[in-house]
Amino acid sequence: MIDKAVTALGALAHPLRLQVFRLLAHHGAGGLPAGDIAARLACPTSTLSAHLARLQTAGLIRSERRGRQIRYAVDAVGTRALLRVLLQDCCGGRPELCGATFVHCPPQECSTVYHVLFLCTGNSARSILAEALLNHLGEGRFCAYSAGSHPKGEVHPQALALLERKGLPTAGLRSKSWDEFTAPGAPTMDFIFTVCDNAAGETCPVWPGRPVTAHWGIPDPAAAEGGPAEQALAFARAYEQLRRRIEAFINLPIAALDELALRERLTAIAREAEAEEAAAR
């Protein structure tokens, strides 16, 4: 962990790279194309590319191709890991005493664990990916689950293969009915997301605790036409679509928003992500 922190600090120890990082932090999960970064910082693209590569190697930023563009954004996981190393011993190991935070939540929210349920019809692909992503990216602040209205009973092999390639844990992932989460002793959900249109249109159970709900429709990668290569591409696309939405979600100031404001922000996350994805096609 210390070695990674030294690498990250070394990457930031350059005026231009620090400017790049701060600019991308300002633009959040959506990030910016390389050309826009170069224009805003008045830096030749040939010079900028080496600095972007250094920041990405250090785990501080990430990149993804959207159509003809390559967009860069702050890597939330890598950045929080650096801040944890810097601040974990603050105030005798209790950084909350002085308000120093090493995650993206305000101090009063950091002790809260939010329970989140992702729903789709079969609970074999999209909702499974979402469960694994949020448990990974949420770093303990979120406890994610998934279920289906008519579960297929097994997780799609392509979903498991993709998660393993991405380095996300797959142990315990299974296809199950949403009835499990209405039974006595089930965890009370704070948020419920439907990730397929069929599940959004079905009559859901009465969920204890009045969770905040939203619909994040994602095309079913298991329904992609073609051979294994085409299906693998569809799964990768669904993974990235879910990742963008989830990264935006975990960066919301949840404790500071009332229920109506939360619903509006969750709907806006889906709307903005869909607009970006359409523009990138």
Alpha helices by DSSP H, the chain = 2-12, 15-26, 34-41, 45-57, 76-87, 90-93, 126-137, 157-165, 197-201, 228-250, 259-280
Q: Which amino acid is at 24?
A: L
Instruction: Catalogue all structural domains in the chain, each as residue range(s) with its CATH number.
Output: 2-77 (1.10.10.10), 108-280 (3.40.50.2300)
In this prediction, residues 115-135 reach a mean pLDDT of: 95
Q: Which percentage of the chain shows pLDDT scores above 90?
A: 52
Residue 94 confidence (pLDDT) = 54
Tally Cβ neighbours within 10 Å of residue 20.
Answer: 28
Task: Give mean pLDDT, residues 21-34.
Answer: 83
The string of pLDDT tens digits covering residues 155-179 is 999 999 999 999 998 988 999 999 9
Q: SS3 for 33? A: strand
Identify the band that residue 92 occupies on the pLDDT scale cut at 50, 70 and 90: low
Per-residue CA distances from 242 to 31, 32, 51, 120, 132 (Å): 16, 19, 28, 13, 11
Write phi, then psi, for 20 (nearest 5 degrees).
-60, -50
- Burial group, residue 25, by CB count within 10 angstroms (0-12, 13-18, 19+): middle
Amino acid at 74: V
Residue 24, pLDDT above cutoff 50: yes
Residue 78 predicted with pLDDT over 90? no
Q: What is the distance, to the nearest Å, from the Cα of residue 266 to the centroid of all Cα atoms in its chain?
A: 13
- Identify the weakest region by mean pLDDT among 92-101, 141-150, 163-172, 179-188: 92-101
Which residue reads 């036409």 in tokens? 225
Residue 29 pLDDT class (50, 70, 90 cuts): low
- Residues 6+ positions from 135 with CB-CB distance below 8 Å: 142, 143, 144, 169
Report yes or no: 148 and 177 within 8 Å, Cβ to Cβ. Answer: yes
Choice among 28-42, 50-64, 248-262 with the minimum mean pLDDT: 28-42
Tell me what the mean pLDDT of segment 215-225 comes to: 91
Contact assessment for residue 121 and residue 199, using Cβ atoms and an 8 Å cutoff: yes
* pLDDT for the residue numbered 100: 47
Q: Which residue has the higher pLDDT, 66 or 94?
A: 66
Catalytic center residues:
120, 196, 204
Mean pLDDT of 240-261: 91
Q: Which of 17, 74, 27, 25 is nearest to 50 (CA)?
A: 17
The residue type found at 35 is G
Sheet with 212-215, side-by-side order of all strands: 142-148, 114-120, 191-194, 212-215
Number of Cα atoms under 13 Å in the Cβ half of residue 109: 17
Average pLDDT (194-207) is: 74
Exposed / middle / buried, residue 192 (Cβ in 10 Å: 0-12, 13-18, 19+): buried
pLDDT band at 103 (very low <50, low <70, confident <90, very high): very low
Place 105 in a pLDDT band, splitting at 50, 70 and 90.
very low
pLDDT reading at 98 higher than 60: no
Cβ–Cβ under 8 Å, residues 58 and 30: no
pTM of the model: 0.63
pLDDT score, position 83: 80
Whether 134 shows a pLDDT value over 50: the answer reads: yes
Residue 198 pLDDT greater than 80, yes or no = no
The pLDDT of residue 210: 85
pLDDT tier at 111, thresholds 50, 70, 90: very low
In sequence order, what are the residues at sequence separation of 6 or more whose Cβ sits closer than 8 angstroms to the Cβ of residue 39?
none
Query: Which pLDDT does position 115 carry in this prediction?
Result: 92
* Residue recorded with tokens 């844990």: 169
pLDDT at residue 201, as a whole number = 61
With residues binned 3-state (H G I as helix, E B as strand, rest as coil), the percentages for the chain, rounded to 5, are: 55, 15, 35
